[in-house]
Structure 1
Amino acid sequence: MFTSPLLPASARPLPALAVLAACAMLAACSNDKPASWQGYVEGEFVAVASPFAGRLEKLAVDRGQQVANGAPLFILESDDERAARQQAAEQVRVAEAQLADIQTGKRPVEVAVNQAQLAQAQAQAVRSAAQRKRDEAQFEIGGISKAQLDESRATADADAARVRELQRDIDVARLPGRKDQLAAQAAQVESARAALAQAEWKLSRKFVNATAAGLVYDVPFRPGEWVPAGSAVVRMLPPGNVKVRFYVPEAVVGSLKNGQAVRIHCDGCAAPVPAKITYVSNEAEFTPPVIYSNETRRKLVFLIEARPATDDAPKLRPGQPVEVTQS
């Protein structure tokens, strides 16, 4: 290569190796900034509803309010459910009383009546037996006929049988109900209790509490309005339901995996929000319209989902555009 001796050393062309080294250094400097990917925040909302229809009697929360797990959210009118529970409770008491009555047998007063009848029958049996002996003696000496003796014997036998009958009645009165009868009535008691439990459950569905702590995102109904069965009265966003969806090119997706740490950058965030990847798509797709990136436009990308820690989730808002980098 020709070099003019009149040019200063600083102005002379660099050797080829020096040029390549300088380019490599510049390339290295340009790669110091970590790769970033565009995405947005998404919330998996929890629609809190009652399985039964009713007028909204009380709304205990407002939109934008943070509530704790188990906090009251709303109450629907419950007159019909209260009446049904009262009816079921009375049916339980009736069935239990009938079972107790069968288990104890007859009442003491009823047993006392049977005992009085037995005493009367025993006295009659004693008289009949005595008359029989007299008639037998008279028949031996020819004082009475054979027919009269037979009648006396029959009367004595009948009175003795009556005594045995009343004795058995008293024994039966003191026994509980039969096994099959007891089992049938016990089943009636269990059926009544199940109906009561169902009535109480239906009543409890009119008093709805939060099943998890979180943000009250929306309240579509107001007190006094009719709420159809299954309609969401409160839409909540628990911290664990906040995630970030972002897209990476094919050359990068192979280096990302579940559990890997990333950083989420957003406008207004004082510092990057740490998160962990929870989902890596196996299928490529075109860059969605919501992602405005000149570098990835009209290219195939892969969906990645990451979730921040529960304490960091409130820093992000659904629909908020973010930028994601590797930690």
Structure 2
Amino acid sequence: MNVTRGAWVEIGAPLFAQDGTADRAARDQAARQFQQARDQLANLQAAGKPTEIQQAEANLVDSRATVERTKVDLDRAEALIKDSAVTVQTLDQRRADYRSATARVAAMEAALAQIRAPMGRKGEITAQHSAVEAAQAAVEMADWRLSQRCVTSPVAARVADVLARPGETMAAGAPVVSLLPPGNIFVRFFVPEPELSRIHLGDVVTVRCDRCDADIAATISFIAPQPEYTPPVIFSEESRAKLVYLIEARPPPAQAALFNPGQPVTVRPPPEGKS
């Protein structure tokens, strides 16, 4: 707990902190899952190992050399067949060897391209991209939850009450600190029915309190739509049962801090003919 009842706090001032052990553990877990998803994506996008690529390149060089050799043998056999220096069977064998070597080159080129390409299929990579984005969103959510463990004041206000103490276990949504900013302070008073016609929203009334050096102007912000009987605890110069209307007026925030909740004040209506 960083504040006490009655203290004044500025915007962003720390109010209280909650135990964040569980949220820190959840954030660490989300971060590790995010890193795991990124590593899996990098693995799917990566090509083969350097040694595998070197082996495939070497196999391709060997296959191309075999093609060159079988081509030379085929050309020689085709030249010698004219003089009957080789048999037809030998020529057919040279042709088959050349076709086989050419096909092996195509296979080695395809194998090298496969090793250089990403290991994962396009659909697998797309799905893993989505998994990475989901893991990143989980990390951001965990960071937000952890940041909410340290609560700061959203406005400049006075601490009206402290409802919890260090070490207490609070239910979800239970209030811990009550703030009263000057802009939320208003004067509540009652007027009799004959005077209601003089009161309008936006009218300015003057308010005086015991320690006020001068009258304070307050703007009427609410007029009750229904009458009620005079409350028994109303601060008035006379007590008699009659219908009155509840009125609320808000003083400027700079002067509202002069009032304390529940303090009796004197309210004067605007002069005749003036709003």
Matched with 2:273 is: none
The answer to whether the Cα contact below 8 Å between 1:249 and 1:296 also exists between their aligned partners in 2 is no
TM-score normalized with structure 1 length: 0.73
Matched with 2:167 is: 224
CA displacement, residues 215-243 of structure 1 (integer Å, 9 cap, x when unaligned) = 11111111111122111111111111111
Q: For residue 262 of structure 1, give the secondary structure of its aligned residue in structure 2.
A: strand
Matched with 1:274 is: 217
Q: 52, 56, 65: which is aligned to 1:114? A: 56
Any unmatched runs of 5+ in structure 2? 271-275
Residues 116 and 296 of structure 1: CA distance in aligned 2, closer, same or farther (over 3 Å): farther
Matched letter for residue 81 of structure 1: D
Q: 192, 203, 215: which is aligned to 1:249? A: 192
Any unmatched runs of 5+ in structure 1? 1-58
Q: Tell me the CA shift for residue 99 of structure 1.
A: 3.6
Q: Tell me the CA shift for residue 96 of structure 1.
A: 3.1
The answer to whether the Cα contact below 8 Å between 2:67 and 2:98 also exists between their aligned partners in 1 is yes
Matched, 1:200 2:149: no
Matched with 1:45 is: none
Q: For residue 230 of structure 1, give the secondary structure of its aligned residue in structure 2.
A: coil
CA displacement, residues 74-106 of structure 1 (integer Å, 9 cap, x when unaligned) = 111111211221222233333334444545544
Matched, 1:186 2:117: no
Residues 292 and 275 of structure 1: CA distance in aligned 2, closer, same or farther (over 3 Å): closer
RMSD (CA atoms): 2.6
Matched with 2:113 is: 171
Matched, 1:72 2:45: no
The answer to whether the Cα contact below 8 Å between 1:68 and 1:210 also exists between their aligned partners in 2 is yes
RCO comparison, higher one (Cα < 8 Å, 6+): 1
Q: 78, 83, 86: which is aligned to 2:25? A: 83
Matched letter for residue 38 of structure 2: E
Instruction: Choose 1 or 2 for highest CA Rg.
Output: 1
TM-score normalized with structure 2 length: 0.85
Q: 250, 260, 269: which is aligned to 1:317? A: 260
Q: For residue 306 of structure 1, give the secondary structure of its aligned residue in structure 2.
A: strand
Q: 265, 284, 299: which is aligned to 2:242? A: 299
The structure carrying a bigger strand percent of its residues is 1
Q: For residue 61 of structure 1, give the secondary structure of its aligned residue in structure 2.
A: coil
Q: Tell me the CA shift for residue 172 of structure 1.
A: 4.1
Separation (CA, whole Å) in 1 of partners of 2:88 and 2:237: 136
The answer to whether the Cα contact below 8 Å between 2:222 and 2:249 also exists between their aligned partners in 1 is yes
How many pairs are equivalent? 268
The answer to whether the Cα contact below 8 Å between 2:157 and 2:182 also exists between their aligned partners in 1 is yes
Separation (CA, whole Å) in 2 of partners of 1:223 and 1:191: 36
Q: Tell me the CA shift for residue 113 of structure 1.
A: 2.3
Q: Tell me the CA shift for residue 270 of structure 1.
A: 3.8
Separation (CA, whole Å) in 1 of partners of 2:193 and 2:238: 13
CA displacement, residues 263-322 of structure 1 (integer Å, 9 cap, x when unaligned) = 223334443332111112222222233315475632111111101111111211112222
